[in-house]
Amino acid sequence: MKPKVYITRKLPGAIIQQIQEKCDVRMWEEEEVPVPREVLEEEIKKVEGLLCLLTEQIDRSLLEQADNLRVVANMAVGYNNIEIDEAKERGIIVTNTPGVLTETTADLTFSLLMATARRIPEASDYLRNGKWETWSPMQLTGQDIHGATLGVIGLGRIGEAVAKRAKGFDMKVLYHNRSRSQDAEKELEIKYVELEELLKESDFVCVLTPFTPETENMIGHEQLALMKKSAILINTARGGIVNEDALYEALSNGEIWAAGLDVFKEEPVSLDHPLLTLPNLVTLPHIGSASIATRMKMADLAATNLLKVLEGEDAPNNVT
């Protein structure tokens, strides 16, 4: 008998087919609407495998109902949506999709940095809204990227890929991480500094750490106050790492110059969120890894992880 699997969102046909060859598949058929919790609660009782997205909270109360579950394959590199300890205790393997999204997410991080520094969304609206009446000396002026100092918080794969891009812009790169990487320091010509120094010295600060109890609210009032008034904060990791109330204050009081956010504490962010009223905030709807090729690779890798575990083999990306 084929193992039973539930997929929490409509994935590309080729990926579903690949899973269907080996499993009895049920799936939430919507692309743009997440599976309702009560549906997931019913489905999880029946299956050995779950392929889910970061929009699903795979928490204790859900896992308690999952008597047959052997694997949760998350289609994301971050897995803070899953209670790992609970899964471990129950012998459920959790997998993620690292590597395949590194370069694409670094591209987006750098795009957001540039869009924020050079006020690109604002400038585009300016033209479309009929405000472009003349060329003027200080019109829509922003911050230089080339030659500036970039501070990378969290030197994982994506952090390194962002640092590499920065070098192409003649930027000086500082980083802060739980552990130092002498190899990366040599290879990328980057410098390890304490968080305080990074915040004080950087023109751009990119947040690229995983979201954990240690990194929750890692950037708050105190940290933002250390940054230069001309500095820009970019977060393409997870919303909860930067305290949004503190960021709102820092942006509205001119403590920092601007911010670019691809992620929010609550997603999708509510349209009446105070941050969205600020002209010096550039925002995106969590699209770090959103290239066609990369999303296909992520779905494919999540499927491979799922199938490997169900076939009794080691999963390439086991995080439990």
Which residues are within 8 A (CB) of 246 and not within 5 positions of it... i.e. 6 or more apart?
Answer: 219, 220, 221, 224
Q: Please report whether residue 288 would count as binding ligand GLV according to CB under 6 A.
A: yes
Going by C-alpha positions, the residue among 24, 82, 91, 93 that lies closest to residue 53 is 82
Catalytic residue among 187, 189, 194, 267: 267
Q: Please report whether residue 145 would count as binding ligand GLV according to CB under 6 A.
A: no
Residues 115, 260: contact at Cβ < 8 Å? yes
> For this structure, is 214 an active site residue?
no
Stretch that binds ligand GLV, among 73-81, 118-126, 133-141, 213-221 (CB under 6 A): 73-81
Which residues are within 8 A (CB) of 108 and not within 5 positions of it... i.e. 6 or more apart?
Answer: 236, 262, 284, 287, 288, 289, 290
Report the residue count for the chain: 320
Q: Please report whether residue 305 would count as binding ligand GLV according to CB under 6 A.
A: no
Size of the residue set binding ligand GLV (CB under 6 A): 7
CB of 199 to ligand GLV, least distance (A): 24
CB of 50 to ligand GLV, least distance (A): 17
CB of 289 to ligand GLV, least distance (A): 5
**Eight-class DSSP state of 203:** S
Q: Which residue among 40, 76, 198, 307 contacts ligand GLV (CB under 6 A)?
A: 76
Residues 25, 5: contact at Cβ < 8 Å? yes
Catalytic residue among 9, 165, 176, 238: 238
Q: Please report whether residue 151 would count as binding ligand GLV according to CB under 6 A.
A: no
Nearer to ligand GLV, 10 or 297 (CB): 297
How far is 14 from 245, CA to CA, in rounded Å? 43
The DSSP element (H or E) to which 73 belongs, if any, is strand 71-74
The residue ranges that bind ligand GLV (CB under 6 A) are: 54, 76-78, 101, 288-289
Q: Which residues are catalytic?
A: 238, 267, 286
